[in-house]
């Protein structure tokens, strides 16, 4: 797991399931409401050009009327590896 200093800034997102997103040059970061923080890294050569970088994925996620639906179909259900970065935060 990366140290907290290496996690990029996360911006709140309007979604019933997602709390915030952010990205760096290699990965998309998603904080879930009640589900911790996860890092999603694209698998090289297995994604369409419009979704092949974390920056493109985050921009599309934010532009969708249903960010959670897009996330589940294109990120979680797509060619991205997933790694839990932080456990759930109890507020």
What is the spatial distance between Cα 41 and Cα 63, in angstroms, rounded to a whole number? 20
18 assigned to some structural domain: yes
Average pLDDT of the chain? 90
Range of the domain at 55: 4-86
9 assigned to some structural domain: yes
The number of angstroms, rounded, from the C-alpha of 15 to the middle of its chain's C-alpha atoms is: 13
Q: Is the pLDDT of residue 47 over 90?
A: no
Beta-strand ranges (E) seen in 1-91 are: 11-12, 18-23, 28-32, 36-42, 80-86
pLDDT at 49: 87
Q: Is the pLDDT of residue 80 over 70?
A: yes
pLDDT at 22: 96
What are 79's two structure tokens? 């060619």
Total domains in the chain come to 1
17 assigned to some structural domain: yes
Question: Quick check: 28 and 77 in contact, CB under 8 A?
Answer: no
């Amino acid at each position: 797991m990366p140290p907290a200093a290496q996690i990029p800034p996360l911006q709140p997102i309007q979604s019933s399931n997602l709390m915030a997103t952010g990205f760096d040059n290699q990965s998309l970061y998603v904080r879930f409401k009640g589900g911790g923080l996860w890092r999603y890294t694209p698998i090289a050569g297995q994604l369409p050009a419009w979704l092949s970088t974390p920056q493109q994925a985050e921009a599309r996620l934010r532009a969708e009327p249903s960010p959670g639906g897009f996330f589940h179909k294109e990120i979680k259900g797509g060619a991205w590896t997933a790694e839990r970065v932080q456990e759930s935060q109890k507020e």
